Amino acid sequence: MTHPFCFRIGDRTYSFLYDTESGSLHNVDHVTFLCAKERYGLEFSEQERSEYTAVSLAERDEIKAELEKLVKEGVLDSPCSVTMNKKRVGEVKALCLHICHDCNLRCKYCFADEGTYHTSDRAHMPVEVGVKAVDFLIANSGSRRNLEIDFFGGEPLMNMKTVKAVVEYARSREKETGKTFNFTMTTNCLLLDEENRRWLNENMYNVVLSIDGRREVHNRVRKTPNGKDVFDVILNNALEFRKIRGDKSYYVRGTFTALNLDFADDVLFLNDCGFDQISMEPVVTDIPELAIRKEHIPAILSEYERLARAYIERRKTNKWFNFFHFMIDLEGGPCVIKRLTGCGSGCEYLAVTPRGDIYPCHQFAENKPYYMGNVLKSTDYDLSVSEKFARNIVTRKPECADCIAKYYCSGGCVANNLNFAGSMDTPYELSCLMMRKRMEVSMAIYAIEGQA
């Protein structure tokens, strides 16, 4: 499937054709873009219809010949040649450890019900459960050498005793098992004091710092249990961490809602603060005042384009930054197997709750129909749940067949699909619309930054 798209910056409009199946990107002139829209049956605007009508038959034939040359080369209109029946089941390489089902913030949009995952006791994971989770991971990792543990919550900094014990225990088993552990943490930064900053910097492969952007945006949805605004404390802690982090992996991750559809300003604000690794995710919630609805999509897509224009300009200056959703590698991206299997939830990526219960991922925690076992009871787990996830492959989804983003989004988040589209196999339409725009913008940036 070939996708024509445009990107405007300054007084220039660049036109592109992307062939999804071969992974080929072609920059074309405006006349060719019009001919491509006609070729693929896309709707013209009135102006485009008028411009296309004015193109001579000779020029149309010339363009058609060039397009057919690419077809013969296999880099345009190429057929789908990728097949995969199911993902590998029975080998686990990553665990999300729910260090506590408790939190020191009450973010309005939290999918985990203010960190509790709809439980009542705000449980903290005992050291014993953390250690058993490491044993579970090693026992089920098969031939995998690189294993990952993500410290998640709630707020994981509320239970550093277990975090430190897990890291120490896992490291102690590396030599004997031939495994290497990489640790990551997602934190709201409220307890990111000097001691925690130093320890995380030394022990974490990646740290995700949750800040939503501008003070008023952040404070509106991320308050303490007694309703206090803590933006200044959080920003200061995050900036102090950034100072000592150097070149090691971190990023600031924000969430935008229906209340800040001008989220490009939040991204640029975070960059102005001094952060150079930034992500901004659309909220996934059913809270009416915050939820992204279909009528918001045109504004959101325009905002991604506005952000991209500012992004290109800033990356030429001392305000260079990396935006997570504009990263793309068209020439050495993830291997085909990875593109088809995506995040690995339910198969190679599982979550463990404070009590040791095992679920397909953090989004499914405490969702009883997806219970898979308990690390305190056994290193075995219910593979029948994994089997359900193993068939969740992008090439098996008819809605994804002609999508420009199919080999970069891998069919979308299973939990979002289930919660908002009704089935883990059905992509959530609003996520798809945003993902496609991010793909187009990312490819345009790639081409513009790469030109001589």
**Which residues of the chain form contacts with other proteins (CB under 8 A)?**
14-17, 21-29, 31-32, 62-63, 66-67, 69-70, 73-75, 82, 88, 91, 93-94, 143-146, 148, 182, 330-339, 343-345, 348-349, 361-363, 407, 413, 446-448, 450-452
With a CB cutoff of 8 Å and minimum separation 6, the contacts of 252 are 208, 209, 210, 211, 238, 270, 275, 277, 278, 279
- Kindly tell me which of 230 and 361 has the beta carbon lying closer to other proteins: 361
- Kindly tell me which of 32 and 188 has the beta carbon lying closer to other proteins: 32
* Angular region, 258: left φ>0, alpha ψ -120 to 50, beta rest: alpha
- The string of DSSP letters for 363-380 reads GGTT-GGG--EETTT-S-
Tokens, residue 118: 């709809």
- The string of DSSP letters for 321-349 reads -EEGGG---SSS-S-HHHHHHTT-BTTTE
Indicate the DSSP class of residue 100.
B
Q: How far is the CB of 1 from other proteins (least distance, A)?
A: 13
Q: How far is the CB of 55 from other proteins (least distance, A)?
A: 11
- Kindly tell me which of 54 and 244 has the beta carbon lying closer to other proteins: 54
Question: Cβ–Cβ contacts within 10 Å for residue 227, how many?
Answer: 7
Q: At how many degrees (to 10) do helices 57-73 and 30-39 cross?
A: 70
Q: How far is the CB of 109 from other proteins (least distance, A)?
A: 16
Tokens, residue 432: 């798809």
| Residues constituting the chain | 452
* Residue 98 near residue 365 (C-beta atoms within 8 A): yes
Q: How far is the CB of 330 from other proteins (least distance, A)?
A: 4
- Kindly tell me which of 59 and 272 has the beta carbon lying closer to other proteins: 59
- Kindly tell me which of 30 and 108 has the beta carbon lying closer to other proteins: 30
With 0-12 / 13-18 / 19 or more C-beta atoms within 10 angstroms meaning exposed / middle / buried, residue 32 is buried
Order across the sheet with 206-210: list the strands: 322-323, 277-282, 249-256, 206-210, 180-187, 146-152, 94-98, 349-352, 357-359, 373-374
- Kindly tell me which of 235 and 409 has the beta carbon lying closer to other proteins: 409
Q: How far is the CB of 438 from other proteins (least distance, A)?
A: 16
- Kindly tell me which of 288 and 332 has the beta carbon lying closer to other proteins: 332
- Kindly tell me which of 67 and 268 has the beta carbon lying closer to other proteins: 67
Q: How far is the CB of 414 from other proteins (least distance, A)?
A: 10
Q: How far is the CB of 17 from other proteins (least distance, A)?
A: 8
With 0-12 / 13-18 / 19 or more C-beta atoms within 10 angstroms meaning exposed / middle / buried, residue 50 is exposed
Whole-angstrom Cα distance, residue 384 to residue 84? 19
Q: How far is the CB of 291 from other proteins (least distance, A)?
A: 20
